[in-house]
Amino acid sequence: MLTSLTVKQFALIDKAQLELEPGMTVFTGETGAGKSMLVDALGAAFGARASSDWVRHGAERAEVVAVWDGEDDRINALLSDQDIELEDELILKRVIGRDGRSRAYINATPVPLKTLQKLGQICLDLHGQHEHQMLMKPGFQCSLLDERVNDAVRHEVEEAFKQWRQIVRRMETLQSERGETEQKAAWMRDEFARLQALEVEEGLGEQLQAEVEAGRHHAQIQQAAAEALMLLDEAEPSARQLVARAGHAVETASSYHDGLKRAGEMIEQIDVLMGELEPELHAVLDESFDPQLLRQHEERLMQLHEAMRRHGTDEGGLLQLMREWEERLSALDTAGWDEASLAKALSEAEGRFSQAAETLTAARVACGKELAEALRPFMDRLSLASMEIRFDVRPDGSKSSWSAAGWDSVSMQVMSNPGEPWRELGSVASGGELSRLVLALKGCGALARMPHIAVFDEVDTGIGGETAWCVGELLALMGNDRQVLVISHLPQVASCADQQVVISKRERDGRTLTSLNPVLDDQRMQEIARMLGGVDNDSRRHAETMLGRGSMVRSQ
C-alpha cells in the first residue's frame, strides 16, 4: 500500500505531506481547490508522462515522493532486473524540471521512466476522465470472462497452441532451408563423387608421391640396380667374393681372439643379407616403365593436393568430410518423408487447436451472459438502470489470429438506452459511468485481480441519494482488498471512507496555495456538513447521522 505522499512545488501545491492508511481514503474540498492535482501527482510518482505545467510558477522543479510498503513477487522481480536492493519499503521519487524533462528514482537509485511505469501497472489503477482506464482494454475485458472459464478449458487451448506453433516452426525451417539445401546438396554430391574417385585414404599423398618419383626416375633406378648387381656378383673380384675371402681370413685365427670370432659372425650375416639383396635388385630390374600409369599417378596426386587446398585439410579431414556429407545426403533423401510427416502432424495439431478454441469460445459466450446478468442488480443500484451490457465474443479462424488465449476478440459493448445500437464501451460511457461500472464488477466478484491501489475520480458524477450510498458502500467494500483513493463531492461517499482528506486553497503573499489536511472527529463532521450545503446545526446533525451510517458500512 501507499503509506505516504510528499509533493513539492507541484502546480498550486507549495509543499504537502500526506500519511495514508489502508482501506478507503476520500479527498473532498470545494470546486477548484485542486483535487485533480492529487491524481496528477500520483501519476507522476508512477511514471506518467511529465508536463512542464506540473512545476509551480516561479519554481525550478517539482518533486513527488511516494513511499510504498508491501510484498509482491512481481515488484521483487522488477527491482532485481534493475539491480535495486530489496528493502522493507520502496521510495519512489520523480523530479520534473521547468522544461518538462524528468528524472526517476527508486530507493535513491536512478531508474528509467519505464521502470516506474511498470511498477505503476502493478501498483496503481487510475480511473479518471484523463487517465488510462484498464476497463477499456480489450485484453482486460477478455480476462473478465476468462476468470470465470474453467482452468482446464484454457489450459487445453494453451497446450494445443504450443504444440501447433512448434510444428509450424519446424515446417517453416524445413521449407525456408529447402532451396539453399538443394543447392548445397548438389554441391556435396559433386564433391563426394570427386573424392570417391580419388579413393582417398590416410597417407595417400605420400604413396602417390613415391609412385611419381619412381616413374620419373625409372632409367636412373634401373641403372643403379644393374650396377649394384654387377658389383655384387659379376665384377672381378665381386663384392660377394671379397666378403667370402674376408670371412676365410678371419676364420683362420678366430679361435685365438674373441674380436675375430665376433667379426666372423658379422661377415656371415653380411653374406646372408647379400644373398637376400640380389632378388630385390633383380625385381627392380624386372620392373617395366609405363608412361600412362605415371601420368595417372601425377593426375591423381594433383587432384588430391587441389582437394586438400580447396577444403583446407589433409587426407584425414577429407575422409571426415565424406562421412559427414554421406550422413547429410542420406538425411536429405528422407526430407520428403519428413515433410509429409510434418504436414500430417500439422493438420492434426490444427484440428486439436480448433476444437479447443471452439470450446473456449462457447465457454466465454456463456460466461459473458452470466456476467452481464450478475452485473444487472448492481448497475440498477448505481443509476445505470438504462444501460445494457453485453460481451461480444467473435471467433476468428484465420491462423494469424491464433494465440495461446484462443482465437476470440472480446469487446464489452453498451446499449445506452433501449432501442439504441450496441457500441464499444469506451466510445459511449462517461468517466463517471466507467467508474461505477468498475464498482459493479467489483460488487459481483468479477474483479479478482486488480492493482494494489485504485484511484477513482468522477465516480459520483450525476448521482445522489441512495445511489450515492451504494457507491460509497462498494468503494468501502473494495477497500477491504486494496487501498482505494476517491475524489468525491458527495457526503454519502465521503461518510463511508476510513480516512478523509480535505483539499483546500488559500492566498498567501499574493499566491494561491493548495493544501491537503486529514480531518478527524468534529473536523470531519464539519466537512460533511459543508458538503451538505451548510454548517448550521441541522447540517451538523445530518452529518453526524451520515457518519454513523458510514461507520456501519465500514464495520461490515
Element (H, E) at 353: helix 335-381
Using DSSP's 3-state secondary structure scheme, residue 163 falls into helix
Contact partners, residue 4, CB within 8 Å, separation at least 6: 17, 18, 19, 20, 65, 66, 67
Query: According to the model, what pLDDT value does residue 494 have?
Result: 93
Query: According to the model, what pLDDT value does residue 129 have?
Result: 40
Domain boundary among 319, 335, 351: 335
How far from 184 is each of 164, 322, 465, 544, CA to CA, in Å?
A: 30, 14, 81, 89
* Measured distance CA(102)–CA(125) in Å, rounded: 22
Query: Could you list the residue range(s) of the whole structural domain that residue 515 is in?
Result: 2-131+451-554
270 with 179, same domain?
yes
Element (H, E) at 455: strand 453-456
191 with 97, same domain?
no
Cis peptide before 395 (omega within 30 of 0): no
Query: Which phi-psi region, left, alpha or beta, contains residue 329 (left: φ > 0; alpha: ψ -120 to 50)?
Result: alpha
Using DSSP's 3-state secondary structure scheme, residue 24 falls into strand
126 occurs within a structural domain: yes
Query: According to the model, what pLDDT value does residue 131 have?
Result: 37
19 occurs within a structural domain: yes
121 with 180, same domain?
no
For residue 198, give the C-alpha cell: 580419388
150 occurs within a structural domain: no
In the chain, the number of structural domains is 2
205 with 331, same domain?
yes
Chain centroid to Cα 79, Å, comes to 17
283 with 203, same domain?
yes
Per-residue pLDDT of the chain (556 residues; tens, 9 = 90+): 899 999 998 988 888 888 999 999 999 987 766 677 888 888 899 888 888 888 988 889 999 999 988 777 888 888 888 788 777 788 999 999 988 889 999 888 888 888 888 888 888 877 644 334 677 788 888 988 998 999 999 999 999 999 999 999 888 877 766 655 666 777 888 888 888 888 888 888 888 888 888 788 888 888 888 888 888 877 888 888 888 888 888 888 878 888 888 988 898 898 888 888 888 888 888 788 778 888 888 888 888 888 888 888 888 888 888 888 887 777 666 655 567 788 889 999 999 999 999 999 999 999 999 999 999 988 888 888 888 999 999 998 888 889 999 999 999 999 988 888 898 887 777 777 777 888 888 778 777 667 788 888 767 777 788 888 988 888 888 888 888 999 888 999 999 999 999 988 887 777 778 888 899 999 999 999 998 887 788 888 999 999 999 888 887 7
433 occurs within a structural domain: no
pTM above 0.85, yes or no: no
* Measured distance CA(110)–CA(50) in Å, rounded: 16
398 occurs within a structural domain: no
Domain boundary among 335, 365, 388: 335
The CATH number covering residue 485 comes to 3.40.50.300
For residue 182, give the C-alpha cell: 538443394
Query: According to the model, what pLDDT value does residue 174 have?
Result: 72
Query: According to the model, what pLDDT value does residue 33 have?
Result: 61
Task: Identify which of 67, 123, 115 has the alpha carbon closest to the alpha carbon of residue 92.
Answer: 67
212 with 82, same domain?
no
Query: According to the model, what pLDDT value does residue 372 have?
Result: 93
Contact 148, 371 (CB under 8 A): yes
Query: According to the model, what pLDDT value does residue 389 have?
Result: 92
93 with 8, same domain?
yes
Domain boundary among 303, 335, 367: 335
Contact 412, 425 (CB under 8 A): yes
Query: According to the model, what pLDDT value does residue 391 have?
Result: 94
Contact 2, 451 (CB under 8 A): no
Using DSSP's 3-state secondary structure scheme, residue 7 falls into strand
349 occurs within a structural domain: no
216 with 318, same domain?
yes
Task: Identify which of 175, 213, 182 has the alpha carbon closest to the alpha carbon of residue 298.
Answer: 213
Which 8-state DSSP code applies to residue 50? Answer: P
Query: Which phi-psi region, left, alpha or beta, contains residue 29 (left: φ > 0; alpha: ψ -120 to 50)?
Result: left
Range list of β-strands (E), 315-424:
388-395, 408-415, 423-424
407 occurs within a structural domain: no
317 occurs within a structural domain: yes
Query: According to the model, what pLDDT value does residue 458 have?
Result: 67
H-only helix segments in 55-105: 73-81
